[in-house]
Chains A and B, each alone.
Chain A
Amino acid sequence: MSAKHGRRLLGGIVWHGVMLIVCAFVLIPIVMVVLGSFKTVDQFFDRPYGLPESFDFFNYRKAWDEANIQSSLRNSVIATVCGVFFSTVFACLASYGLARFRFRGRLGLRLLFVGGLVVPVQLIILPIFIMFRQIGLLGSLWSLIVVYSVFGIPLGVLVLTGFFGVLPKDLEDAARIDGASHLEVFWRIMLPLTRPALAAVVILNGVWMWNDFFLGFILINDPDQMTLPVGIMAFRGTYSTEWGLIFASVTISVLPVVGAYLLLSRQFIAGLTAGSVKG
């Protein structure tokens, strides 16, 4: 009995040991960047992996005022909120139409939407770039919002059609008999029931849009219109040796999404894996 007990204890120690090593592998690089954001350029040479001399926010102040982080943060919030809002509205309505009505071409239409997931962004952005250049939309935050609003549709349809499809028909029929229109059924009855799936879509597209670099990089070149990832890469090019400044900006850019993740980690994990599980 005691031998068995001893083996279990040993097993537990090994288990925690492996997990702690893995967590260290994940966390050490992140901690190093946060520490780096408090260092002056000289301190990077003196003690590359040591603590900074003081936790003074001078890099943050400089990034905020001089490196355009203030406006980048605002642009990122606007682009993400608008992009998530419009793409969710589009995807929600379309998914309801695709999942709750029987009509010819239904599956083909769903495939048309979901198939967007295998179109490389590198390809589709090229004709859009040309189109926006012609109509003069290129370079503004609006161009990015428009593109996010549409590019969020495929994932939204993938997740939401699966969810709308399994809601019981009785609910809908009862309301229809009471004289509710299709829109009322959708808005009053079905939509409130899909809240978990909606949360998943909002998280999925929100994290993607907040983190996206490529689309903003192609469409925006005015520093005042840049989102955080684009802005950070732009001044990494200009101030390549101002490491503290770059790391402060990186910290600011991940703080909102990591903060939300720490508060709602269960919802985030469920949301970010929802697209793949439903597919």
Chain B
Amino acid sequence: MRSPGGNSPSRAALPFTLPGDSAGLHQPKRRSWERRPHLWFILPALVAYGILFIYPTIRSFYLSLFDWTGIGPIGKMVWLANFKELLHDERFRKAAWNSTKLFAVIFVLQNTVSLGLAMMLNRRSPMTHVYRAIIFLPVVMSAVATGIIWVLMLDPIIGIVNPVLRDIGLGSLQQEWQADPKWAMKMVYLVQFWQWNGMAVVLYLAGLQNVPEDLRHAALIDGAKRWQVFRDVTFPMLAPAFTIVTALSFILIFRAFDLIYVLGGSTGAPDGATLVIGVLIYGEAFGTSSFNAATRMSYAMAEGVTLFVFLAGMSGLLIRVLGRREEALH
């Protein structure tokens, strides 16, 4: 679509300069538009995205350099002071640690339970589609609904788990599931896994359907053990699905808010046990409760910028490393 010799000033100009900017160049400008039809398609999205996505992202980097509560005039510029403070902030460290643990636990569960279920589902049976549809169901439900469902399940008084344990004679196993700091974060793992297990199962199942049956049969006939077939044939063939499941849960978990807010509120109750990065940033920016309404908008932005840089860097790294692994395995 590009024509050679496109060096005239009007064509070198950015596509989204205002028409009034260069009234004298009106004629060549219109021709340049005709030569670049793609701009017409991209422009509406680019303008909207520029105003409400790119500009705010840049502005949050800028505002993270100030000392500002978020209310009233912007305070004075403190450069990187917010970032320095963040390194020694106990709550930030704890939230980062909790988010990391959540990812690690989900990662392990996805590659054992979800993968195992996907392998079990990878067979022809009239019920396969029914089971798959049920296992995937929580993925379409809102985090608010999921959170409230599990608050009911785990409630010590009206809940389901404790009364059932009591009535089947296992009363000693009853716990204050959500109020006990020892158990609260484990319940977050459970609920998070309950909601997203179906996603990993379906993605692994799609990957397994690309593994040729013949290859596995050939290996079995050659005397390989089932475990060896899995390790040397099936799992390497699942490399693309592994990349997707890992990268997706990484991004989802480090940006998570809704579900964990429903379970633990803005302070990560009890006693910060369920505080994760996403909730911490919210609390810092808007105050954690009506009793503690102190807001630190710029500090929250510094935390958000740190998270963004970490996510962008790690996603890039993950995709590159896992992509290379995929190539090496094929």
Does residue B301 face the partner (Cβ distance < 8 Å to A)? yes
Where chain B touches its partner, the secondary structure class is helix
Chain B residues positioned under 8 Å from A131 (CB to CB): 56
Say yes or no for A1: interface residue by CB 8 A criterion.
no
Of the residues A19, A45, A150, contact of B48 by C-beta under 8 Å: A150
- CB-based contact A211/B136 at 8 Å: no
* A218 to B297 Cα, complex, angstroms: 13
User: Residue on A with the closest CB to B6?
Assistant: A104
Given contacts A118-B251, A146-B52, contact A19 B244 (CB under 8 A): no
User: How extensive is the interface on chain B, given as a class?
Assistant: 35 or more
Residues of B within 8 A of A246 (CB): 148
Q: Mark A97-112, 1 if CB is under 8 A from B, else 0.
A: 1101111100001001
Question: How many residues of A are counted as interface, with CB atoms below 8 angstroms from the partner's CB atoms?
Answer: 91
Residue in contact with B131 in the complex, picked from A19, A120, A261, CB distance below 8 Å: A19
Which residues of the other chain, B, contact A49 by a CB distance below 8 angstroms?
A: 160, 163-164
A9 interfacial by beta-carbon distance below 8 Å:
no
Which segment, of A29-37, A53-61, A62-70, A192-200, faces chain B? Answer: A29-37
Interface members, chain B 177-224 (any A CB < 8 Å): 194, 198-199, 202-203, 206
Q: Is the CB of B160 within 8 A of A26?
A: no
Instruction: List which A107-165 residues lie within 8 A (CB) of chain B.
Output: 109, 112-113, 115-124, 126-128, 130-131, 146-147, 149-151, 153, 157
Q: In the assembled complex, which residues on chain A have CB atoms less than 8 Å from the CB atom of B70?
A: 126, 130
Chain B 117-142 interface mask (CB, 8 Å, partner A; 1/0): 10011010101010111111111111
Q: A19-B120, A23-B135, A36-B152 are in contact. Are A45 and B158 (CB under 8 A)?
A: yes
Q: Please state if B2 and A90 are interface contacts (CB–CB under 8 Å).
A: no
Whether the Cβ atoms of B57 and A124 lie closer than 8 Å is: yes
Q: How far is the CB of B16 from chain A (nearest CB, A)?
A: 12
B81 within 8 A of A: no
Contact check, B131 vs A22: say whether CB atoms are below 8 A apart. yes
Q: Does B328 contact A (CB under 8 A)?
A: no
CA distance A93 to B44 in the complex (A): 8
> Which listed residue (A104, A112, A265) contacts B136, Cβ 8 A?
A265
Let me know if A153 and B37 touch, CB within 8 A: no
Cβ distance B109 to chain A, nearest Cβ, rounded Å:
13
Query: Which chain B residues border A104 with CB–CB below 8 Å?
Result: 2
Which of the candidate stretches B21-29, B228-236, B304-312 sits at the interface with the other chain?
B304-312
B60 at the interface (CB under 8 A from A): yes
Contact among B2, B163, B202 with A269 in the assembled complex (CB-CB below 8 Å) = B202
- Assess whether B59 is in contact with A121, with CB atoms less than 8 Å apart: no
Tell whether A189 is near chain B: CB-to-CB under 8 Å: no
Q: How close is B207's CB to chain A, nearest CB, in angstroms?
A: 9
> Are A123 and B301 closer than 8 Å at their CB atoms?
yes
Interface flags, A241-279, vs B, CB<8A=1, else 0: 001001100100110011001100110110011001101
Give the number of A-B contacts (CB < 8 Å).
Answer: 271
Residues from chain A with Cβ under 8 Å of B56 in the complex: 124, 126-128, 131
B49 at the interface (CB under 8 A from A): yes
Cβ proximity bits A179-213 to B, threshold 8 Å, 1 near / 0 not:
00011001000000000000000000001001111
In the complex, A16 Cα to B160 Cα: how many Å? Answer: 25
Q: Does A79 contact B (CB under 8 A)?
A: no
> B312 touches which one: A29, A115, A228 (CB < 8 A)?
A115
Q: How far is the CA of A100 from the CA of B40 in the complex (A)?
A: 13
Say whether B262 faces chain A, with CB atoms less than 8 Å apart. Answer: yes
Query: In the complex, which of the residues B55, B159, B301, B311 contacts A118, with contact meaning CB atoms closer than 8 Å?
Result: B311
Residues in A with CB closer than 8 Å to B294 are: none
The verdict on A213 contacting B127 (CB below 8 Å), with A26-B194, A153-B48, A243-B152 known, is no
Q: In the complex the two chains form, is B248's CB within 8 Å of A233's CB? A: no
Which among B52, B123, B198, B278 is the interface contact of A122 at CB below 8 angstroms?
A: B278
B142 touches A122 (CB 8 A): no
- Chain B interface (Cβ < 8 Å from any Cβ of A): 1-2, 36-42, 44-46, 48-49, 51-57, 59-60, 63, 70, 117, 120-121, 123, 125, 127, 129, 131-145, 148-150, 152-153, 157-160, 163-164, 194, 198-199, 202-203, 206, 244, 247-248, 251, 254-255, 257-258, 261-262, 277-278, 281-282, 285-286, 297, 300-301, 304-305, 307-308, 311-312, 315
Extra A-B contacts (7), CB below 8 Å, given A26-B194, A127-B56, A153-B49: A19-B120, A33-B149, A94-B42, A113-B49, A116-B53, A122-B304, A213-B142
> A-side interface residues toward B, CB under 8 Å?
15-16, 18-19, 22-23, 25-30, 32-33, 36, 44-45, 48-49, 89-91, 93-94, 96-98, 100-104, 109, 112-113, 115-124, 126-128, 130-131, 146-147, 149-151, 153, 157, 182-183, 186, 207, 210-214, 218, 228-229, 232-233, 236, 243, 246-247, 250, 253-254, 257-258, 261-262, 265-266, 268-269, 272-273, 276-277, 279
Q: List 11 A-B contacts (CB under 8 A).
A: A30-B149, A48-B163, A116-B53, A118-B311, A120-B255, A124-B53, A128-B56, A218-B282, A233-B262, A236-B148, A276-B244
